A = this chain, B = another copy of it.
Amino acid sequence: MIKKFTFGTPFPTESVVMQLPEASAFPEYLTLSKDQTTLSAALDSDAIVYGLGENVRGINKRGWKYISNCSDDPSHSENKNSLYGAHNFLMVDGDISYGLFIDFPAKVTYDIGFTDLDKMTISVEEANYALYIIEADTLPSIIREFRSLIGQSYIAPKWAFGYQQSRWGYNCEEDIRKVVKGHRDNRLPLDAVYLDIDYMERFKDFTVDEEKFPDFPDFVSDMKKENIHLVPIIDAGVKIEDGYDVYEEGRDHDYFCKDENDEDFVVGVWPGRVHLPDFLNDEARQWFGDKYKFLIDQGIDGFWNDMNEPALFYSEKHLQEVFDKLKEFQDVNLDLYQFFAFKDVVTGIDNNPVDYESFYHNVNGKKIRHDKVHNLYGYYMTRSAAEAFKRIAPDKNILMFSRSSCIGMHRYSGIWTGDNSSWWSHIELIMKMLPSLNMCGFIYTGADTGGFGDQTTEDLMMRFIQISMFTPLMRNHSALGTREQELYQFKDIDSFRNMLGLRYALIPYLYSEYIKAVRENTLMFTPMGIAYPEDPAARHIEDQLVVGESIMIAPVYKQNAVGRYVYLPEDMTLLRFRSADDVDVIPVEQGHQYVNVALNEVLVFVRKDHILPLGPVVQSTADLDYSHFTIYGQSTSPYTMYTNETNTISVTPA
């Protein structure tokens, strides 16, 4: 049961799809402050708080402060309060259990046992929001009700379950052909290569650099013949450059965000000075979306939207102030206070809060200051594209995912988890984010495999692959200046090939479970405490996940580990895979187990009374074969497998 409470005059975020009547009785377990901006609740000592989507820390969010404030912060360390998304759904699993969604487009702060271990305090920046309280008998029911409220999640094309390769630094046709060849020559399956910012002409959206790509449509078509999809990046900012059509159209039609004087607001991003399209303006949104046609017409069928928090290197106005301010520090004895102040002037340039308070949207003729609706920007940019796709290519399923997001956007696209790093702790982090994201409606998702920033190592990449192989989005992505991390750059290519082969053999199962999660409003990645609610030993496990209906995974996320502990809430079949074809099948009993896991091995546990059907190993999703499966595990009932968004086949146990 969902109870809706409206405070003040909420901005119409379109995050939810249901019209609900106002509830009358406010729940006793929540306290609303007089000014209606603060909600608080006691947390009993064993209560778990689930949710909040893309964030640092554990599956259980207790013990930290989180702020919904879409932020481009590349250092995902445990002291951060905000990442790229704003996902205002959480679930308390305690003596009293309930779900809670705050439909509000600006800052919301969640003090979940940060100030006081046993108290949760939620502060909304303004008393203009809708609060939804979801009560149900079980956590999966709460999730199901919430997900119905926000509408069905985006469905990605099946090829987007293939292995994908990306790197900031692929510069031209030759670079990309080399990457494809590197995979094909080594029989490393591959479905897509990404075009990061360098494909554009001086970082201008909806351009392709003709020197680097002399005949882009031909190149796209060549790649398609090799079963490779090219996926270009689209940035939020539009370069200010006379003669550049996107800039001139936007300027002429007032499609850009304005400053306080109604001039087009100027900020700096990749191309230097840009304007920000006003995606909250219906006309502007339609206009920008239609621009994707430029690339779709050349054969492109997938995109990633980036820098749409929006990330701001600087605002023109603030930059001028910075240069003025810097002069004050010259010829002064810079002591501790002044030196830090001096550094702060420069390190605080990008994503400066003042800049977000300095520009405006035109929402149905009303001028709205950006910070009041900040968390909608990436959502509405992505919606702009997704709505356009229906006009431009109604019969195609175009891949779309975004860096910034907000609940509501889940209906239009997936997300990746942003600019992570080649850190072992980021293998652990994605494992914790997956169920939290799923709850919030984001099912097509994954982390930059191997890590985007910093230097990877072969063992880190192997262990990262061994978690990413279960996520819908499996993309190897890395930053300019880091070690090259295409899998053929490493020594043990055989093992990487085996892992990718296993991924492709798993796709029929994973895709099917993905479709079920979307259609049935369930989790594709379920925390142990939700999958086994009756088992107290399962309740607090944070490093095992149930994936779909049939399997449990227990990834290795520690460097130099030769094994790990696993808890089995029931008897299971352990599959110790070295490849899809080289597997030890070991019955394992309920209870705590220590299991050896060599670097080239991945563990899959088939749950009691479930089966895992494994398809044949192929080099591309174009070659997926549903005619025969290898079946692991036992069950009395057949497995229902979605082969596309709507059709199922029945796979019979061995």
Contact = CB atoms under 8 A, between A and B. Distances in A.
Given A78-B423, A79-B421, A339-B314, A334 B319 contact: yes
Interface stretch (A128-136, A181-189, A559-567, A571-579): A559-567
Please give me the 8 A-B residue pairs with the lowest Cβ-Cβ distance, nearest first: A272-B335, A272-B333, A346-B346, A79-B454, A565-B565, A60-B560, A592-B594, A270-B336
Copies of this polypeptide in the complex: 2
A273 B347 contact: no
Interface residues of A, number: 71
Interface string A447-477: 0000001110111100000000000000000
Contacts of A350: 343
A62 interface: yes
B559 A540 contact: no
Interface in A254-301: 268-273
Interface stretch (A112-120, A217-225, A382-390): A112-120
SS class of chain A's interface: helix, strand, loop or mixed? loop
Contacts of A329: 323
A57 interface: yes
Most buried by B among A79, A338, A537, A594: A79
A151 interface: no
Interface string A522-539: 000000000000000100
Contact of A323 (B63, B114, B326, B561): B326
24 contacts: A60-B559, A62-B559, A75-B77, A77-B77, A78-B424, A78-B425, A79-B423, A79-B453, A114-B457, A117-B459, A272-B336, A272-B338, A272-B339, A273-B333, A314-B334, A319-B334, A323-B330, A343-B347, A346-B346, A346-B347, A347-B347, A537-B594, A542-B558, A592-B592
Contacts of A335: 202-203, 268, 270-272
A343 B113 CA distance: 36
Given A347-B343, A592-B592, A458 B117 contact: yes
A491 interface: yes
A504 interface: no
A423 B425 CA distance: 12
